[in-house]
Structure 1
Amino acid sequence: MNPLFQVEVEFANGNAFKLSAEFLRINSPAVDGKIRSIGGEKVISGRRHVGIMSAEPVGNYGVRLNFDDLHKTGIYSWDYFYHLGSKKFTLMRSYIKTLKKYGLSRDPRGRK
C-alpha cells in the first residue's frame, strides 16, 4: 500500500480543507514519544516526508490516522480537523518559526 501525503476534509457548511500528512502528523492530538521538549515547548521535527498508511473511523466523531513513522495513536475529531483546516497557515508558520528557533528541520535527519 502506498502512503497518502494529503487528506481532503469537506464539511456540511461547504468548507473543505486539504491537509498534508506532515501537517496532520505534527499536530497529532496524541502524546508522542518523538516530540522533544525544548525550553518548555513541545517540538516535533523531521516529518516533511511522512505518509498516511491508513485511516480508521472512530465512532461518528473522528478518524484514527496511521502514519508510516509508526505513529497511530492520534484520533482526529471532526472539530479538530476543522480547527486545523481553518488555522492551517497560522499553525504552519508558527511550526516553522519554532523549528528555526531551535535549529531543527522539517527534513528527516541526514536528508536535506
Structure 2
Amino acid sequence: MKSLLIVLFVAVSSLTTFGQETSTMNGTYEGYIDGVYVFSDGEGYTTEFSNITDDVANEFDLNSEKFVGKQFMITFTVDSEMDEDDEEIQVSTIVKLLMPM
C-alpha cells in the first residue's frame, strides 16, 4: 500500500510539472549572489531565482562574471515548497534565457 501511494504521488507530481505555467520578464543580470541568480528590471526592482534548468546552465554560465550587466528576457516558473521550518516558500526556476539583439 505504501509503495502504491509513492507511485501515485510521483505520477501526480510529474503531471503538474509538465503543464506548469511560465512567466517572463526582462532584466539585467546582477550576478550569482548568496546562492541565487539576481536580475534587476528597468525600475530598479530585483528578482532572485533559486534554480536554473540544465539546458540554460549549459548555454549560459551565470556563475561567472561574463554575463553581469547583460540584458536578458527570462522565462521562469514559480513553485511552492516547504522549508526546514515547515513554512511555505516560493522557489523560482529559470527555464529559458534570451539575449535581445
Same fold (TM over 0.5): no
**TM-score after normalising by structure 1:** 0.28
| Bigger radius of gyration | 2
Structure with more of its chain in strand, by fraction: 2
**TM-score after normalising by structure 2:** 0.30
